[in-house]
């Protein structure tokens, strides 16, 4: 019994080391790509400032006793000045705002990718009734306007970031599921999957061991892009005052700047600062997502244009058309090289 436990411990340890090695190699690959390097650097800065916000920020924006004079212009003491309404240090608010943006973006992106991937693989591989059910749900969710619905739901069930994350996950997995499903439909007919089926492998085994690795590059890439999209959406919701009213976020800073008279008094730094925060975080995640597409699957490079267009498709049977078009690239059948094109 003891030996068995030990063995399990060793295998788990090895798995963890393997995962770390994989992540390390992956980061190294990103680093070697010039565009990926920019994204990586910005994300590192963002994560550091989110984690060590109390150390970096010169003032604590939540602390009412630390409020300075109202409406100060940028100076060495207050790098980005203070707000007109409350006298909070804008630079400190900017640093603390990273926390909300990153937390909401990352948690939502990863959960959503998980759910979307599972749904997509089941819909694509199992087919039949599960496929119909999942795709009908996707169709319904696609026509409901997301922003108004989110506004209604936060009004009904309380304003908090947990609620926002929940709503984003609930309505965001559909896009991911469509993309994954269309690729799974192609992989399903690949020879190695057919071989595994003939050898008597169970559905779960095939889905986890054969299908999942085949779509993993798409999942990782889409996760990064989804994180970026969610960050914009979160900023918009906070701007409308639907986030947690006590938290400091970039969207809320923008709303305060607008209502607090930043436009009127010409305090442009109060608007630019959170805007640049949003821009940098979204930009870096997008960059990483787009670079991942090239790094993880060099074959995909040739068809990436078709991919980007069809990724946003709203039309259910176009999935099949799309699958047919990309079949050559995915299965590695020879395609013309970039240079030979017209």
Partner 1 sequence: MQKSFIIKRILYAFFIFLIVMTLNFFIPRIGVSDPAERYYPPQGNMTEIEYEIIKQVTREQYGFDVSTVQQFINYVDGLLHGDLGTSFQPGNPKVSHLIAERLPWTLVLSVTNLIISLFIGLIIGTIAAWKRGRWQDTTLLNLSTISTALPAFFIALILSFYLGFEKELFPAYTNPNMVSQFDWSWESIKVVMYNAALPIISMSIGGIIGYGQGTRNAVIAVTNEDFILTARAKGLSRNQVIFKHTLRNAMLPIVTSLGMSISGLIGGAVIIEQIFNWNGMGTLFLNANNTNDYPLMMGVMLFMSAFAIVANLVTELCYSLLDPRVTVGERR
Using left for φ > 0, alpha for ψ between -120 and 50, and beta otherwise, residue 335 falls in beta
Name the nearest CA neighbour of 189 among 304, 333, 329, 327. 327
Name, in order, each residue with C-beta under 8 angstroms of 123's C-beta and a sequence gap of 6 or more. Answer: 130, 131, 134, 135, 177, 181, 184
Sort 9 into a burial class: Cβ within 10 Å, 0-12 / 13-18 / 19+.
exposed
**Interface residues toward partner 1, by CB under 8 A:** 139-140, 142-145, 147-149, 151-153, 155-157, 228, 232, 235-236, 239-240, 254, 257-258, 262-264, 266, 268, 271-272, 275, 278-279, 282-283, 286-287, 290, 305-306, 308-310, 312-315, 317-318, 320-321, 336, 341-342
- What minimum distance in Å lies between the beta carbon of 152 and partner 1? 6
**Count of residues in the chain:** 342
The DSSP secondary-structure symbol of 119 reads H
Residue number, 69 or 305, with CB nearest to partner 1: 305
Residue number, 66 or 160, with CB nearest to partner 1: 160
- What minimum distance in Å lies between the beta carbon of 289 and partner 1? 11
CA dist 283 and 278 (Å) reads: 8
- What minimum distance in Å lies between the beta carbon of 117 and partner 1? 23
Instruction: Give the distance from CA 266 to its chain's centroid.
Output: 35
- What minimum distance in Å lies between the beta carbon of 17 and partner 1? 36
Bridge partners (DSSP) of residue 82 are 89
Residue number, 117 or 291, with CB nearest to partner 1: 291
CA dist 221 and 11 (Å) reads: 29
Instruction: Give the distance from CA 33 to its chain's centroid.
Output: 20
Residue number, 91 or 310, with CB nearest to partner 1: 310
Instruction: Give the distance from CA 116 to its chain's centroid.
Output: 12
- What minimum distance in Å lies between the beta carbon of 304 and partner 1? 9
Residue number, 53 or 257, with CB nearest to partner 1: 257
Does residue 89 sit in helix, strand or coil? strand
- What minimum distance in Å lies between the beta carbon of 156 and partner 1? 3
Residue number, 130 or 236, with CB nearest to partner 1: 236
Q: Is the dihedral of CA 334, 339, 340, 342 positive or negative?
A: positive
Residue number, 196 or 300, with CB nearest to partner 1: 300
- What minimum distance in Å lies between the beta carbon of 4 and partner 1? 49
């Amino acid at each position: 019994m003891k030996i068995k436990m030990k063995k399990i411990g060793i295998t788990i340890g090895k798995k963890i080391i393997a995962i770390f090695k994989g992540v390390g190699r992956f980061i190294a690959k990103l680093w070697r790509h010039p565009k990926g390097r920019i994204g990586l650097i910005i994300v590192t800065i963002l994560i550091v400032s989110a984690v060590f916000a109390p150390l970096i920020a010169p003032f604590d924006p939540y602390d009412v006793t630390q409020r300075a004079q109202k409406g100060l212009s940028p100076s060495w003491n207050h790098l980005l000045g203070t707000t007109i309404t409350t006298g909070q240090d804008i630079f400190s608010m900017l640093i603390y705002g990273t926390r909300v943006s990153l937390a909401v973006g990352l948690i939502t992106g990863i959960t959503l990718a998980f759910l979307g991937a599972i749904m997509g693989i089941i819909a694509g591989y199992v087919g039949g009734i599960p496929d119909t059910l999942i795709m009908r749900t996707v169709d319904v969710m696609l026509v409901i306007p997301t922003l108004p619905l989110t506004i209604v739901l936060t009004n009904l069930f309380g304003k908090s970031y947990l609620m926002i994350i929940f709503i984003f996950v609930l309505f965001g997995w559909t896009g991911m599921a469509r993309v994954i499903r269309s690729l799974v439909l192609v992989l399903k007919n690949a020879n190695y999957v057919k071989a595994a089926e003939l050898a008597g492998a169970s559905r779960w085994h095939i889905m986890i061991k054969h299908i999942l690795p085949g779509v993993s590059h798409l999942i990782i890439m889409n996760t990064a892009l989804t994180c970026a999209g969610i960050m914009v959406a979160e900023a918009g919701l906070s701007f409308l005052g639907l986030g947690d009213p006590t938290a400091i976020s970039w969207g809320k800073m923008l709303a305060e700047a607008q209502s607090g008279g930043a436009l009127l008094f010409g305090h442009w730094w109060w608007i630019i600062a959170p805007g640049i925060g949003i821009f940098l975080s979204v930009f870096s995640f997008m960059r990483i997502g787009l670079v991942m597409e090239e790094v993880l699957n060099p074959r995909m490079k040739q068809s990436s244009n078709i991919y980007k267009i069809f990724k946003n498709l709203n039309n259910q049977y176009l999935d099949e058309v799309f699958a047919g078009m990309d079949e050559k690239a995915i299965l590695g059948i020879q395609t013309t090289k970039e240079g030979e094109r017209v």
